Structure formats: C-alpha cells, structure tokens
C-alpha cells in the first residue's frame, strides 16, 4: 500500500498509567506508550488505497483540541468516500524501532466525532517485515473515548521483534457513514 504522507522521527516515552483519559482511568498495570502524538512529528501518516486518483480521501492531522490526557496532541483522522476510488484507508505508524517482545496486547484509544459522523467499525493490522499481517476489526467505536485492543498472540509463529508497521483502517464496505472523523491517541503495549 502506498503512503501519502511521511513524517519522520518520534518520541516515545515510558508512562506510569496514572493518567485519567476522558474520564476513564487507565489500567493499573503499567503499559508502554508506543506513541502518544505529543511531539510535533511522528513516523507515519495517512494512507489510502488509491493515492494517485487526485482525490484525498484520508487526512491525518495532529491537533490538540481533543486528546487523551490534560496536555499534548492526538490524531484527527478524516475520511471521505464520497468521491475518488478509495475503498479503504487510514493511519499508519512505523514501529520498526520498537521490539514488541514481552507484551501480549497492542491497544490504542479512539473516539468518533459526533458532529461530523464517524465509522463505528475500524480495523487494526500489524505487519511484520516479511509482509505477514494480522488484522482485528472493532465495531465498538463511539462518540466517547474507548480502547481497541488486539492480542499479539495470534502472531505466535512469528517473532514480535519483526513487527514494523501498524495500520488503523476504515473500510467503505463496513460503514454506512460515507464521511467523518475520529480521533486516535496513545498506542500502547501491555
Ligand atoms: Ca496524546
């Protein structure tokens, strides 16, 4: 898949999980925050299936209005299937610098923008450097912050240290809302 935006370099940091996120207390167990989007750059961006059709169907913008935590930023992911050829697209992250070994779960926080509408179904795919992929769909997206988690154990035949990319995607076939926005923040490992 081709990536329409590529912004380089990152900061990631260890957090103790005492933050309150949108009224949800984070789990007591310590999680490793893979990406909190609080730096002005990150390694990833928006992608869409047909990037040369002169129609931008997906945008991923750092913004600080709606986020997890009292400060920092989150991604606003806009999509629009009303024109253009794209059936699928989303947000991708380069996580090749991270070793997922020793963790069981990958998660992130997501919230739909009620005033614009949003897909209630999103998918998450992790991909290793050999192109092997595991995908999970979630139909739990709402207008409030909620978590999507996927087990890493389905990758058990592969080495977690080889995971290089995460994709969050919205598929036109799975949503009746043709255009909308969701916010994404705090990718974590547990
Ligand atoms: Ca953030």
Residue 116's CATH number: 2.60.120.260
Q: What confidence score (pLDDT) does residue 54 get?
A: 84
Q: Are 147 and 184 in contact (CB under 8 A)?
A: no
Q: Looking at the predicted structure, is the pLDDT value of residue 74 above 70?
A: yes
Neighbours of ion ligand 1 (CB under 5 A): 36-38, 67, 72, 74, 185
Residue 2 CA to ligand 1 centre (angstroms)? 26
What is the reported pLDDT for 160? 77
Q: Considering the domain boundaries, does residue 150 fall inside one? A: yes
pLDDT of residue 9: 37
Query: Would residue 8 count as lying in a domain?
Result: no
User: Cα(83) to centroid of ligand 1, in Å?
Assistant: 31
Q: How far is the CA of 187 from the centre of ligand 1 (A)?
A: 9
Please state, in angstroms and as integers, the Cα–Cα distance from residue 40 to each residue in 16, 94, 166, following that order: 22, 16, 19
Mean pLDDT (the chain, rounded)? 86
DSSP state letter for 188: E
The domain of 177 spans 13-189
Residue-level pLDDT at 157? 62
pTM recorded for the entire structure: 0.83
Q: How many domains does the chain have?
A: 1
pLDDT in tens, 48-68: 998 888 889 999 999 999 999
pLDDT in tens, 7-25: 443 333 333 333 444 444 4
The reply to whether 5 falls in a domain is no
Residue with tokens 């009303």: 82
Distance 84 CA to ligand 1 centre (A): 31
What separation in Å is there between the alpha carbon of 184 and the centre of ligand 1? Answer: 8
Angle in degrees, CA 136, 120, 154, rounded to 5: 5
């Amino acid at each position: 898949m081709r990536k329409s935006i590529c912004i380089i370099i990152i900061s990631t940091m260890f957090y103790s999980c005492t933050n309150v996120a949108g009224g949800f207390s984070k789990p007591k167990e310590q999680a490793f925050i893979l990406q909190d989007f609080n730096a002005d750059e990150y390694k990833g961006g928006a992608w869409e299936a047909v990037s040369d059709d002169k129609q931008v169907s997906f945008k991923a913008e750092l913004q600080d209005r709606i986020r997890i935590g009292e400060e920092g930023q989150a991604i606003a992911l806009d999509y629009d299937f009303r024109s253009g050829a794209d059936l699928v697209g989303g947000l991708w992250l380069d996580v090749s610098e991270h070793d997922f070994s020793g963790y069981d779960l990958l998660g992130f926080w997501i919230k739909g923008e009620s005033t614009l509408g949003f897909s209630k179904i999103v998918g998450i795919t992790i991909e290793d450097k050999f192109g092997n992929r595991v995908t999970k769909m979630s139909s739990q997206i709402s207008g409030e912050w909620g978590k999507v988690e996927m087990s890493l154990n389905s990758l058990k035949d592969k080495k977690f240290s080889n995971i290089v990319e995460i994709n969050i995607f919205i598929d036109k076939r799975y949503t009746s809302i043709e255009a909308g926005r969701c916010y994404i923040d705090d990718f974590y490992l547990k």
